[in-house]
Chains A and B, each alone.
Chain A
Amino acid sequence: MKILVQADPFDLGAEVAAMSRGRTDIGAIASFVGLARDLNEGSGVAAMTLEHYPGMTEKALAAVVDDACSRWTLLDVTVIHRVGRLLPGDPIVLVAVASQHRGEAFDACEFIMDYLKTQAPFWKKEETMEGDRWVEARASDDAAAARWQAS
């Protein structure tokens, strides 16, 4: 398992390659990369700054990954979340999940993203033409996370 909170960019290819290097038991790796968009809530976004709660962030991400590992048989998980100022098109977050079969990898990857979005203490502040604004939490993200509680 690898959980990182960092200002630097990440390399999806290198991260995925590292997960299967030296082992032949992995049959599937599903990955997700979230990117900074140039439009949100109808306004152009010139840049965003991600703030977090050092200490709790890593702990919350580890708890989400542990939860995923208790729901599916996972062989490896990598979560990297960036902080600091990002420009449109910049990668924000990477989740990659390795398992024997694709179903577990797909499901666990989506689960980790859904839980990360509602539980890990990150906050986005956007720079727009109308000024800086903090992004408001979305009910749709809560609903996406809640889906996993029923199953």
Chain B
Amino acid sequence: MKLRVLYFARLRERFGVGEETLDFAGATAADLVAALQTRGGVWAEELAAGRAFRVAVNQDVVALDALLPDNAEVAIFPPVTGG
């Protein structure tokens, strides 16, 4: 499936990318995170188990076992700090 993946704040800066389009063979948000971890370096570090990050699918925060629909907009970002 095709995914549009967005990164924000500290993760956008560390990854050096704000947005990318991916051909993705997995099913869930956890599969996507695992695929991104295989890039190594900052990807493996920031998305390691136990690191605090959130995943949103089509602009709703989801749990890692959420299924990703085709053409989904997936965002990965640090815990929010507004207000």
Residues on A facing B (Cβ under 8 Å) = 34, 50-53, 55-56, 59-60, 81, 92-93, 113, 116-125, 134-137, 141
Q: A134 near B10 (CB under 8 angstroms)?
A: yes
A84-B14 Cα distance, complex, nearest whole Å: 20
Q: A137 near B78 (CB under 8 angstroms)?
A: yes
**Mask for B8-19, Cβ within 8 A of A = 1, else 0?**
111000000000
**What residues on B are CB-neighbors of A124 within 8 Å?**
81-82
Interface band, chain B: 10 to 19
**What residues on B are CB-neighbors of A117 within 8 Å?**
80-83
Q: B83 near A92 (CB under 8 angstroms)?
A: yes
> Which of the residues A34, A123, A136 comes within 8 Å of B8, measured between beta carbons?
A123
Additional A-B contact list (13), CB under 8 Å, known A116-B83, A123-B80 = A34-B83, A51-B8, A53-B56, A56-B56, A56-B75, A59-B59, A81-B83, A122-B83, A123-B8, A134-B9, A136-B79, A137-B79, A137-B80
Query: Which residue of A is nearest B6, CB measured?
Result: A53
Residues on B facing A (Cβ under 8 Å) = 6, 8-10, 52, 56, 59-61, 75, 77-83
A126-B11 Cα distance, complex, nearest whole Å: 16
Q: How far is the CB of B12 from chain A (nearest CB, A)?
A: 8
Q: B83 near A52 (CB under 8 angstroms)?
A: no
A121-B80 Cα distance, complex, nearest whole Å: 5
Q: A120 near B79 (CB under 8 angstroms)?
A: no
Query: Which residue of A is nearest B54, CB measured?
Result: A121
> Which of the residues B9, B56, B59, B61 comes within 8 Å of A123, measured between beta carbons?
B9
**What residues on B are CB-neighbors of A34 within 8 Å?**
83
Q: How far is the CB of B8 from chain A (nearest CB, A)?
A: 6
